[in-house]
Amino acid sequence: MSSGPLPGPVETDRLELTCWDVSPPPTGFPSRFVLPARPIPSVMNTVPSGSAEKRVGMKEDLWAVLLGMTLFVGALIAMAVAGDSLQGHFGQPGGWSDSPWQSLVGKGSVPAWQASLTSLALLALVGIPAIAASRPLDKSGALFRVVPAFLATSALAFAAFVMAGQSVVKEYGFEYVFWALLLGLAISNTGGTPTWLRPAVRGELFIKWGLVLLGAEVLLGKLVALGLPGILVSWVVTPIVLVSTFLFGCHVLKIRSPSLVMVIAADMSVCGVSAAIATAAACRAKREELSLAIGLSLSFTAVMMVVMPLAFRYAGVDDIVGGAWIGGTIDSTGAVAAAGAALGDRAMKIATTVKMIQNVLIGVIAFAVSVYWAARYPTDEEGGGESGQAADGRPRAGFLSEVWQRFPKFVLGFLAASLIASSLAWSGSVGESIADGAVANVTKHLRNWLFCLAFVSIGLETNVRALLPALSGGRSLVLYVVGQSLNLTLTGLMAYLVFGWLFHDAIQEWLP
């Protein structure tokens, strides 16, 4: 028997096996087998992309809760130990009129530049390892890649605060979130976001982390203090406007993306950016849809915070009614305080209290949207899922499991921080002093930095060209205008009914 050479590597689209040593081959036994060559599946390709994204999203939520609660509890401990000596050590660039250098000095005992660096150093210390660890599927998660990227995004956030501090800019209501978003958009839509910068472009993680810290500022005692009037304005009008705007966008304007409609409706009816982020996570909105909703919100907020106080003064609206009206309609909490202050101290107190009561709805709305989306949109068509399947192609989970998957877990951290701060405030003067001091001296400044980093990241991630389909025909703008008009009308009627008539005398006694 002779033996021939073994065949070389197969380089064709089929696999041929030959019998060399049997001549002729047995009856019925072919001398050559021809089989289709199939590629060996790669280990990296066995993980569905949708599943991977879900796990990364879950990790971001858990990291946000862990980081936020760590900073909040640490701030409480520091306040209990150090007391008022902690004041001024955390902050951001201040206001200026003639030279940007004025923003770095500040008015306190600690220069603003030093307070800013302290805040960023703390965020970097706890945040950089989390940023690297929460992206194990991507080489960009390596620690040595995150450090320079985080420093660069921090520099952009610093610049955004300085730009927002200019006196004229500040007067017109262009807050730091506007400049942060603008700086990010300018980079991403001109030369493009550099590859080395991408590891720290983590808008969702930063905003979720900041929202957990925001929970410490939402004291349930505020709800009790203002009582039924605040609840009626905040909790009755808001769901009506949210549902009405969503139905109008889907069935009248016929906007194709329900998630875009929901994010715009929540952004406009609840509390602006924070509600938009939570709702976008619940309905899995695209990043471009979130950016569009935020852009609309920031634009109208800047206009409303200037126009509403002037219009109320001209029309002779009572300051208590005007404060409630402002608190229930203007999106940003900072803009609410500024617009309320333009009417007077009493209006500012009413406006901010109504807005804080409204902020409690963030978690409720996020949960409600999660339930509705799991029931109404069981498959993610934009993600390529088919009927009865999840977006990653796997069989659809049960209803409760689907709700849990869609529910933004960081909201639990928001609620936990709110409960802890509220419990301390109720425990007595010492506990209230610790909770208030931790928020005023530490977590509020850290939250501002996180929000600024988030909007820099959102800008760096956003392609303006991708927004054009959503803006085609102007239906998104029409949706916001119609929804906000309904919000202004219903909130104004409720403010007159509750604050101007039914409870006016009681509120007069509550105010100083």
Residue 110 has pLDDT above 80, yes or no: yes
Percentage of the residues of the chain whose pLDDT score is greater than 90: 30
pTM of the full predicted structure? Answer: 0.69
On whether the CB atoms of residues 184 and 460 are closer than 8 A, the answer is yes
Strand, coil or helix: 143: helix
Looking at the predicted structure, is the pLDDT value of residue 322 above 50?
yes
What distance in Å separates the CA atoms of residue 52 and residue 421, rounded to the nearest whole number?
35
Q: Quick one: three-class SS letters along 355-377? A: HHHHHCHHHHHHHHHHHHHHHHC
Q: How confident is the model at residue 511 (pLDDT cuts 50, 70, 90)?
A: low
**Residue percentage of the chain with pLDDT more than 70:** 77
Stretch 489-511: mean pLDDT, rounded? Answer: 84
* Each residue's pLDDT tens digit, 128-173: 988 888 765 455 557 788 999 999 999 999 999 999 999 888 877 6
Tell whether the torsion through CA atoms of 483, 406, 451 and 65 is positive or negative.
positive
Mean pLDDT, range 123-127, rounded to an integer: 94
Question: What's the rounded mean pLDDT across residues 88-100?
Answer: 89
CA distance 425 to 433: 8
Convert the pLDDT of each residue in 421-469 to its tens digit: 989 988 888 888 999 999 999 999 999 999 899 889 988 987 777 666 6
Pick the more confident residue, 392 or 348: 348
Quick: pLDDT tens for 333-351: 767 877 887 788 788 878 8
The full set of domain ranges for the chain reads 52-510
pLDDT of 19? 42
Chain-wide mean pLDDT for the chain?
A: 79
Residue 83 has pLDDT above 70, yes or no: yes
Query: N- to C-terminal Cα distance for the chain?
Result: 110
Phi-psi region of 103 (alpha: psi -120 to 50; beta: other; left: phi over 0): alpha
- Over 70: is that where the pLDDT of 385 sits? no
Residue 415 has a pLDDT of 85
More confidently predicted of 201 and 463: 201
State how far the Cα of 241 lies from the Cα of 247, in Å rounded to an integer: 10
For residue 33, the surrounding DSSP H or E stretch is: strand 32-36
Q: Are 104 and 112 in contact (CB under 8 A)?
A: yes
Rounded to an integer, the average pLDDT of 370-383 is: 71
What is the C-alpha separation between 145 and 363, in angstroms, rounded? Answer: 34
Please indicate whether residue 405 or residue 71 has the higher confidence score (pLDDT).
71
- Which band of pLDDT confidence, cut at 50, 70 and 90, is reported for residue 23? very low
User: How far, in Å, are 245, 329, 483 from residue 238 at the CA level?
Assistant: 11, 9, 11
Q: Please give the biggest Cα pair distance in the chain.
A: 112
Q: Measured between alpha carbons, how far is 361 from 374 in angstroms, rounded to an integer?
A: 20
| 211 within 8 A of 203, measured Cβ to Cβ | no
